[in-house]
């Protein structure tokens, strides 16, 4: 769910009416892909809790809040003021969640996930089991009912964003009395992982470069989080491999394709609009922190490429000039249509927006690694103390779990870039429901349809290669943006979200 008011010349929520089946193309057009590399795998045992937070993190938060210490006190005040963190929150589970089409109800899911996460945090920090009971009941109610994600191509956005968020809430509640973790894992695998893995493998039948980097990043975040939750090494490797060398726009060298003198890495989404650029910044931090807590350093991959990219986005959104290398976007679907669009400058759309995404990056690069990150540091100071779900609206404000000032602030303690330290407590992989195991050099193969062909995940056939909801009937409401090469491109206005 990102901002509704920021769109590129050809929005990712454009509607593309396509006849017949499409096949997936390999090749990314103009974005550069790095050489193949094996995923770094952590020890055979997974660390739990070990996604965005470890037990050491919870111990730090609890001690600092109890002592009434500075930034932690301010951060907890933001959490306590959010109505979704109340122990009286009651879930409203649905069997089918729809995004981007008639009956859109994804906000119901989003608010319940944020309520589960916030209550879980408050329990870990205060010890109040009323919050733990609330979080457990929310998670149990959804795993007992949810079976389907539907809608336009935006169903993949719902799978990715809410998949990684749901998994993080469940990871905190792992082992709590009455929490049905086995049933929750099944829901995550059947509903969220299946859609996100399929998207990374087939990109909904479109060219691999058709979808912007944030689509791939949110899908990667979901695959990684579900892999950790389910103690499934193959799924973790799938996410790590895609992040490093995937063929789509969201692998790190395609998301940040140009490195400028002085160490600024041009992010492709900065040329699109800043709502989506900041969404990508937040997702990069989320992926890297979850991997770090399992002993995998993606923050430092390719000479700190993520740092260079987020510094670039931060500098532009602080109102400062950035260098820009022109690049051309290849969009469309094999055998159906294709087009190209060239970006020549950083976009002013949404510039200076606020999202709760900077503290994790600041605290890793500056306080954990001792590196310089002047623009990220300035953005963190600007937004501090970070709030969370709903504090920044119901569009982009629900894309991130937030409360970074509370959960990520740490005293400066420099650690090695090559030895990320997971939680001190670890659990073996025997409890997992996953199907894969890692080899020393193997990479996981994303789930494919049984037919071996390109199939949409849910939704309707006409949006097979769409970047939004399908249907020629939408033309009357949206108008034709472009007619070329035998295809019709339509823009839906006022649609829910715009990731």
Q: How far apart are CA 146 and CA 142, in angstroms?
A: 6
SS3 of residue 319 by DSSP: coil
pLDDT digits 0-9 by tens, 276-299: 999 999 999 999 999 999 999 999
- Does the structure show a pLDDT above 90 at 424? no
Q: How far apart are CA 117 and CA 247, in angstroms?
A: 32
Q: How far apart are CA 166 and CA 221, in angstroms?
A: 11
Beta strands in 112-242 (DSSP E): 148-151
Q: How far apart are CA 197 and CA 217, in angstroms?
A: 12
Task: Check: CB of residue 172 under 8 Å from CB of residue 49.
Answer: yes
Q: Return the pLDDT at 395.
A: 76
Q: How far apart are CA 445 and CA 201, in angstroms?
A: 8
Q: What percent of the chain is modeled with pLDDT above 90?
A: 71
Q: Provide φ and ψ at 296, rounded to 5°.
A: -120, 120
- Does the structure show a pLDDT above 70 at 413? yes
| Token pair for 281 | 């910044």
| Token pair for 14 | 């454009």
Q: Return the pLDDT at 414.
A: 82
| Token pair for 95 | 């069997």
- Does the structure show a pLDDT above 70 at 455? no
pLDDT digits 0-9 by tens, 178-217: 999 999 999 999 999 999 999 999 999 999 999 999 999 9
- Regarding pTM above 0.85, the answer is no
Q: Return the pLDDT at 1.
A: 43
Q: How far apart are CA 20 and CA 14, in angstroms?
A: 19
Count other C-beta atoms under 10 Å from residue 387's C-beta. Answer: 22
- Calculate the CA 159 to chain-centre distance: 10
Beta strands in 370-442 (DSSP E): 426-427
| Confidence band of 421 (pLDDT split at 50, 70, 90) | low
How does DSSP assign 432-445, residue by residue? Answer: --------SS--PP
Q: How far apart are CA 217 and CA 238, in angstroms?
A: 13
pLDDT digits 0-9 by tens, 152-184: 999 999 999 999 999 999 999 999 999 999 999
- Does the structure show a pLDDT above 60 at 453? no
Closest CA to 9 of 353, 276, 271, 266: 271
Of 142-151, 416-425, 426-435, which gets the smallest average pLDDT?
426-435
Closest CA to 215 of 100, 116, 342: 100
Task: Check: CB of residue 66 under 8 Å from CB of residue 286.
Answer: no
- Calculate the CA 13 to chain-centre distance: 18
The single-letter DSSP state of residue 447 is: P
The single-letter DSSP state of residue 61 is: H
| Token pair for 408 | 């990520």
Q: Return the pLDDT at 2.
A: 39
Q: Return the pLDDT at 259.
A: 98
pLDDT digits 0-9 by tens, 80-134: 999 999 999 999 999 999 999 999 999 999 999 999 999 999 999 999 999 999 9
| Confidence band of 393 (pLDDT split at 50, 70, 90) | confident
Task: Check: CB of residue 377 under 8 Å from CB of residue 370.
Answer: no
**CB contact burial 113-136 (16+ within 10 A = b; e otherwise):** bbbbbbbbbbbbbbeeeebbbbbb
Strand partners, 15: 490
């Amino acid at each position: 769910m990102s901002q509704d008011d920021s769109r590129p010349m050809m929005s990712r929520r454009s509607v593309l009416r396509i006849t017949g089946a499409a096949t997936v193309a390999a090749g990314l057009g103009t974005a550069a892909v790095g050489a193949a590399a094996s995923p770094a795998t952590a020890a055979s045992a997974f660390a739990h809790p070990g996604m965005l937070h470890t037990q050491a993190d919870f111990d730090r938060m609890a001690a600092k809040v109890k002592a009434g210490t500075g930034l932690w006190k301010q951060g907890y005040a933001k959490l306590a003021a959010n109505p979704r963190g109340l122990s009286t929150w009651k879930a409203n589970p649905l069997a089918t969640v729809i995004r981007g089409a008639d009956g859109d109800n994804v906000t119901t899911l989003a608010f319940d996930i944020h309520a589960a996460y916030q209550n879980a945090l408050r329990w870990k920090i205060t010890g109040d089991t009323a919050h733990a009971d609330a979080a457990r009941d929310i998670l149990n109610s959804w795993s007992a009912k949810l079976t389907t994600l539907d809608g336009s191509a935006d169903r993949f956005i719902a799978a990715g964003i809410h998949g990684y968020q749901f998994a993080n809430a469940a990871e905190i509640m792992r082992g709590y009395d009455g929490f049905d973790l086995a049933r929750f894992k099944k829901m995550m695998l059947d509903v969220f992982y299946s859609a996100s893995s399929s998207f990374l493998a087939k990109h909904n039948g479109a060219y691999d470069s058709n979808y912007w980097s944030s689509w791939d990043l949110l899908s990667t975040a979901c695959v990684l989080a579900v892999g950790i939750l389910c103690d499934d090494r193959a799924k973790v490797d799938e996410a790590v491999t895609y992040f490093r060398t995937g063929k789509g726009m969201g692998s790190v060298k395609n998301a940040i394709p140009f490195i400028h003198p002085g160490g600024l890495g041009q992010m492709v989404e900065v040329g699109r609009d800043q709502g989506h650029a900041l969404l990508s910044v937040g997702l990069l931090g989320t992926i890297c922190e979850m991997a770090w807590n399992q002993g995998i350093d993606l923050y430092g991959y390719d000479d700190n490429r993520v740092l260079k990219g987020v510094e670039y986005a931060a500098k532009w959104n602080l109102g400062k000039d950035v260098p820009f290398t022109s690049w051309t976007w290849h969009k469309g679907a094999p055998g159906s249509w294709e087009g190209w669009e060239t970006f020549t400058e950083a976009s002013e759309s949404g510039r200076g927006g606020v999202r709760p995404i900077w503290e994790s990056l600041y605290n890793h690069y500056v306080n954990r690694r001792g590196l310089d990150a002047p623009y990220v540091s300035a953005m963190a100071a600007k937004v501090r103390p970070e709030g969370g779900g709903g504090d920044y609206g119901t569009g982009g404000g629900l894309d991130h779990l937030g409360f970074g000032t509370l959960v990520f602030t740490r005293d400066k303690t420099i650690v090695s870039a090559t030895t990320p330290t997971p939680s001190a407590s670890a659990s073996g992989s025997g409890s997992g429901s996953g199907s894969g195991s890692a080899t020393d050099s193997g990479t996981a193969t994303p789930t494919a349809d049984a037919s071996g062909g390109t199939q949409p995940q849910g939704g309707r056939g006409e949006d097979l290669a769409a970047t939004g909801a399908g249907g020629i009937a939408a033309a009357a409401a949206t108008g034709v943006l472009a007619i070329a090469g035998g295809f019709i491109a339509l823009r839906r206005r006022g649609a829910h979200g715009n990731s």
